Structure 1
Amino acid sequence: MPSIMIVDDETIFRKGIRLMITDMQSDWIVVDEAKDGAEALEKLEELQPDLIITDIKMPRIDGIQLQYIVKERYPHIACVVMSGYNDFQYARESLRLGAKDYLMKPFQREELYVLLAKLQEEWLMDKRTNQSHGMDQQVQNGMRQHVLAGLLTGSVHHGEAELLENVGIQFPHAYISCLIAKLDRDSVTDERYYQLNPSLFSIYIQQFIQESLDEYFKGYVFIHHETEVVALINHEQVASIHGDIEKLTNRIRKEIRVQSNFTLTFGLGSPAKDLESISKSYKEAGLALLYRLVIGGDRLLSNEIVAEMNMEKHDWHAADWHSLNQYVQEGDLANVQQQASLYVTKLCQEWKDPEIIHQQICKMLLHFYELAVNLAVVKQWLQNTDVKQVLVEIYSYSSSKELIERCQKLLGDLTICIGNRQKKMVTSPVEIVVRYVEEHYAESITLNTMAEIVYLSPSYLSSLFKSKQGQSFIDFLTEKRIEKAKLLLLHSDEKIQVISDSTGFTNIRHFNRVFKTIMNRTPSEFRDGKTIAVREPFKVK
C-alpha cells in the first residue's frame, strides 16, 4: 500500500488532510505527520513514505529546502506541495524540482482525491520498473561518486575514459574548471546550525547548485567532504569562463540568501585541459577559498581575484599567549573561550595571508600540546586523534568562525582535563603516589615521574613524601617491591629471575643485592627457610 507523510506547520491543516485521506477509503495510508521540514527529515529515514505532501512556508527547513534534500537522499519519494495564492512562485520552483503537482490552499477534497488516484497509478508503474532497475542505478551512483572524488585527487587519468563512461560521466567539451562551495558559518546562527544535521546544508547546497548549473553548463556537483560541495564544470571557451561562472555564482548566492537566509563562498580553480589537471584546479580552488579568512565570505574567490588584492603584511610581534596560558592552567573555561576568540580574530584582522594565520594558530596549539605532554594529559585531551591530525585540520579551515570554534573546543577540552586532574590533587599528592606505586610497582617508576603526575617539583615531593610517610620515596618503592617478591617466593614456584622481572627490578643481581640487604638472606635462602625475619623499618644502603 502506498504511504504518505504530511508536512505543515499548522496542526489544523495536517489533521484536515489526514481526515480527507482516511475518508477517501483508498489504498493510501498516512504513516506520520511533521510540523516542518526538519522534523520530516528526522522521520524519513525510518518511515520511507512513497509520497510527501508539504507546505511551502515553514520554520527551520521550508518546503523548497525539504525537496532539495529529499531529491538527493530519497529520490524515490515523490512530493506534492501546498501553497497559498501569494506563494505561487515557490510552487513553480517546486515543480521545477520535480514535484508531482501542487495544491492551492484552501483546496477541495475532490481535488486531492483526483491527484492521489493519478499518483497511485504512477506509483504502481514505478514500483514494477524500480524492482528491476533500482539497485543497478544505486550502485552506479555510488561508483560515480568515487570516480568524481578520484578526479580531485588525481587518481583517475585520461586513459580511463571507459571507467567514466561506465558510471555515466561525460566531459564533451575541452576544459573542466573546479568550483568549491562552502557554507559561511557566520551566516547561520549556532542554534540553527546545530539543531539540524550540518550535512543537510551541504545536501541542500549540492542540489541547488546542480539545478542552477544545468541551465548553463554541462557538469557534475557532489559532496566531497561533509561541509564541501564541489562542481566540475565542463566548458568550451576559456576567455569568458571566469565571467560566466561569476555570473552563475552571483545568481546562486543571491537566490540562496533570499530563499534560505544563509550565504555561500565559492573558490574557483583555473581551467584544466585534461583529467590529470583537474586535481590542480581543485587545489587552486581550495587555496583561493582560504582567503575568506582575510576578506570575508559571500563571494567568488579565484586566483585572478586574489592576485588583485593588496597583500601588504602588517608587522606582527611574537604571539603572546600569557593570558591564555594562565587561564588554561587555572581551569578558567569562560576566559579561555574569550581569549581564544580574541586571539584568532586579531590574527585574521592583522594578517592578509591565510598561510601565516594558520601557522600562528598551529604554533599556539603546539605550545599547549607541550603543556599537555608535561602534565601527562595528552591522551585525555586529544582522545582518539593526535596532534598531527589536529594541525592538518587547522589548515583546512577558511572561515574565521570555524577557526574560533575549533580553537575554543581544543583549548576548552584541555582546560577541563587539567581541571579534572587538579581536582584529584585536593585529596593528597602523597596518597596518589602511594596508590600509584601499589598499582604500578612492576613498572619503571621514578620520583620525576611521580612529580609530573601530581604537579609538584621533584624536590618538594621528596620532602613532602618523607614527612608524611616517615621514609623516602625510594625506600617506600623498594619496600613494596620486596613485599611482592616475598609473597611470590613463598607462594609460587616461579624462578627467581622471573620474580625479579615481575617486581620491577632492573636485573637479578640488583634484586639479590637489595633483597639480602633488607632481609639478611638471599632470595633462595628466604624461600628455603620459609620464615620471615622481624625487623625495624629498613633503609636501602
Structure 2
Amino acid sequence: MVDKVIKVVIVDDEPRLRRGIERLVLSCGDSWEVIGTYMSGKECLETIKQTDQSFDLLITDVKMPEMDGLTLIKELKKELSFYSIVISGFDDFQFLQTAIREGASDYLIKPIDRYDFKKQLDRIQEEIHTQWGKAKQYAEIKWKASQLSYVQQTQKLSEIMWQNEIDISHMDWTKEFPQGTYTLMYVSIDHLLSKSKTFDQKDWNAWFYAVENIIDEILTNSAGTKTWKWKGRELSFWILVHHESDGVNESVLFAKHLKDKIKAFTPFTCSIAVSEQFNELSVLSSIKDELVTYMQFRLLYGSGRIFSKSLLENAKEDTPSIEITAIGNEIDRIIFTLESNHKNKVWKNMNSFLSNVEKLDSPADIKKAVQLLGIRMTNFFITKIGGKHEFDHIQEVFDLTNKTSTISELKIEVYEWTKKMLELLEKQTAIRQLDSMEIAKEWIRNHLNENITIPKIASQVYMNPTYFCEYFKTQSGETVLDYVTRVRIEKAKEILLTSDCKINEVSVKVGYSDTKYFSKLFKKFYGEVPSKYKNRMMHDQI
C-alpha cells in the first residue's frame, strides 16, 4: 500500500481557494496526488466522464454555479466509488446535513484551518488504506477460490476423458463452467516410438517438461480466453477452449502457433486435432473419440499437421498420391452410385475397386487405398445425413489393414464394413420418417433405471452426440441433461407416492446410486426432501 498514492480531485469556483486546497493536499506528503482541479461541478463531471478517470477523494465546494457540490457527488457516485469532503460557509449548515445524507465522508467550514484539514486527510487516508487492504484481501481470496475451482474443473475434465459410459446424472458439474461455445484440441507428439529411443529417461522427462511449458506459456498469453489443459496418454495433451463467440478459426490459429513453437524450441514435431464448436460439455467423451480418429489421418497425410472436420470434407481435393490413379476413379464411382442410391452398382464398383487394390505392389499403397475409401465414404455419410454420423467407423476401416494378413481377408472385411455402412444409411433413412425427438424421449423414459449416456440416446436416432444435443435443445427448449433429470425426478415422485419403496430404493429405480444426491435433486424440484414430501402428501390426503 505504501507505493500507491491517493488520487484527489478538487472543485471550487474560487481560484485562490482552489489553489490553496491543492497546496494543503500536497503538503501532506508524497502519498497524495492531485490529478485534477475544476472551477465548477459541471466541468468536473463532464471531464471525468470523457476521460474515464478514477480517483479516491473528491474535495468540493457546496455552492457553485451550474452544478452544486451535492449534485456533483450524487452524479459521480452513480458510476464511481470514492470518498468526499464538502466545503461550505456557516450559512450552509442545511446543505452540510444533506451532504452527509448523500454520502459525503466529511465537511470543512470556511475559512479552512490547516490543522483540521490535515487531521481530516489523515483520517480519510487511514480509511482508504483499510479499504485497499480489504479489496486486496478479497481479490486474493477470490483468486485462490478461482484457482481451486479451476483445478477441480480440470480434474473433472481429465476424469471424463478416461471414463466410458458415464451416466448423464454425473455430468451436473458441467453447469459450473461458463456459458458459451467450446472447442477441444488434442495435441500429440509425432513419431513417439522412434523419438523415445533417441533419449535417455532423464532427457526425455526434461523435453516433456519443456513441451508442457511451451503449452502453458501460450495459454497464459491468450488474453481474454479461458482454457483448461490436462495430460493425455504418453506425450499428449488435451486443451479445452471457451469462446464468447465463434471460435473455431481462433482455435486453429492457436493450434498453428503452438505447433510452430514446439517445432522451433524442441526436437519434436506435433500434430493437433481440433474439434468443431460445441455448447454442452456433456458430449466431451464423444468429441474426444472424434479427435482421436482425426489423429489417425497422420497415416495418410503425414505428421506436423492440424487435423479437423474440414480434412474429411476436403478429402477428395487433398487425396494422397497413389501410383495407380484408377483407385481414385473407382472410389469416385462408388460415391456416385451411393449418391444415386444404386445399391447393386455400389457392389459392382466395390468389386472393381478391390480388384485394383489387389494389383498394387506396395503394402503402404494398399493401406492408403483402403483408408482413402473409408474417408471418402464416411464423408459421404456426413454430408448425406447432415453431420449426424458417428466417427467410429473411420477407425474401423483404418484398422482393417492391421487386422488382416492376406488380400482375401482384407476384401472380406471391406465388404463387411461397406455392408454395415449401407445398413446404417437405410436405418437413418427410415428413422427420418419418424419423430426423432419422440423416439429419443421414449427411450429415455424406458431406461431411467439404467446408465444413460448421451451417445446411447443419440444412437437411437442415428445422430452424432454433439449434433443431437444441439438438436434436442432446439426442439425441446431444454438440454438433454435437464430433460433426463426432470423425467427421473418426476418418475421418482410417482414411485414415492404409489408404493412402499424406501428412499434408497426409489433412488436406484430412477438411476441414482447416490441417495444423498438424489434427495438434493428432489428438493430442488419439489422444495422438500423425498421423505418429508411423501409424509406431507400422505397427510394432505387424509
Task: Bin the TM-score by the shorter chain.
Answer: 0.3 to 0.5
- Determine which structure has greater relative contact order: mean sequence separation of CA pairs < 8 Å that are 6+ residues apart, divided by chain length: 2
TM-score in terms of structure 2 length:
0.32
